Amino acid sequence: MKALRFGWRGVTVLFVLAFLLGVTGPLAWVLASSLKSATQIATDPWALPTTLQWDNYANAWNGASTNLGRAFFNSLFVALATMVVLIPISAMAAYVLAKYAFPGSKAIYASFLAGMMFPQFLVIVPLYLTMVDLSLADTLPGLILVYIAFSLPFTVFVLTGFFHNLPDELGEAAMLDGCGHAKTFWRVMLPLARPGLVVVTIFNLIGLWNEYNLALVLVNSEERFTLPLALAKLSNTAQYTSDWGAMFAAIVITMGPVLLVYWLLKEKIQEAMLAGAVKG
């Protein structure tokens, strides 16, 4: 009986160790490979780098085939510009949906909820055509507008929940003090919703940093590539230029910031993910 239980334990421990290796191994391999020379990468995947090839990073960042540096700044610009617009307008909308019932407000809320349900690809062709009509296809402003629109459902949903939980009395007190509706929102309610704002900001930033599908369809000039597009292209060219080192360096550059942010803000991120998952 005891032996059997110990056997189970052993199996479990082995299984968990295998899983840990499965998760961290590939990431460690990428990190190690990003500091190896192309020949070393091709000869023995298990070997550790002999001399650290920091050149790989320079080649990836500003190489002949792909300019990851530019893509990095494109991604940064797109993500920040999106957030600067998205957060205030979502907060405004969420506040209204939580605290101001008016004819049709339920329908609006429902339509935002529906937006979290349907697949992006359902609208991707007409979306592209709409952007062509607006002369915004293949432009970063166009991509930013699309990102804002597509991030609204989730952001509004989470923030509505937050505003809903703030007591009505706070707003009423502010109104009695002579603040208008708008002033009440900016001065009193928005600061109180800060935890919610932090959650949606982090969650959206990670999502935007990683976004591929919409960018792939809406952006096709290389100088406007975001990081995922540039990385995908680089991996494609690495196939025949055999510049493996630069490619692994590019992977590290792409995933580094996200892993760092995740490491610092684990709880917040999990909170946001759970909020999004249990919406059904």
Q: Which of residues 94-123 bind another protein (CB under 8 A)?
A: 95-97, 100, 102, 105, 108, 111-112, 115, 118-123
Q: Encoding tokens for residue 28?
A: 């460690």
Q: Which of residues 158-177 bind another protein (CB under 8 A)?
A: none
If one asks whether residue 79 binds another protein (CB under 8 A), the answer comes out as: no
Q: How far apart (Å, rounded) are the C-alpha atoms in residues 44 and 47?
A: 6
* 49 DSSP assignment: P
- Does residue 189 belong to the site contacting another protein (CB under 8 A)? no
What tokens does 226 get? 């975001």
Backbone angles phi, psi at 277, to 5 degrees: -80, -40
Q: Min. distance of Cβ 90 from another protein in angstroms?
A: 6
Helix axes 266-277, 244-264, angle to 10 degrees: 90
Q: Which is nearer to another protein, 152 or 158 (CB)?
A: 152
Q: How far is CA 165 from CA 61, 85, 86, 159, in A?
A: 46, 24, 21, 10
Does residue 21 touch another protein according to CB under 8 A? no
Residue 137 sits in the site that holds another protein (CB under 8 A): yes
68 CB neighbour count, 10 Å cutoff: 26
Q: Which stretch binds another protein (CB under 8 A): 54-62, 150-158, 160-168, 192-200?
A: 150-158
Instruction: Quote the CA–CA distance of 155 and 219 in Å, as a whole number.
Output: 24
Site for another protein in 229-248 (CB under 8 A): 231-232, 235, 239-242, 244, 247-248
User: Where in 44-63 is the site for another protein (CB under 8 A)?
Assistant: 44-46
CB of 178 to another protein, least distance (A): 13
Least Å distance, CB 169 to another protein, is 17
| 272 contributes a contact to another protein by CB under 8 A | no
> How far apart are alpha carbons 138 and 157 in whole angstroms?
30
242: left (phi over 0), alpha (psi -120 to 50) or beta: left
Identify the residue among 55, 205, 217, 268 touching another protein (CB under 8 A): 217
- Asked if 264 is part of the footprint of another protein (rule: CB under 8 A), the reply reads no
Least distance in angstroms from the C-beta of 195 to another protein: 18
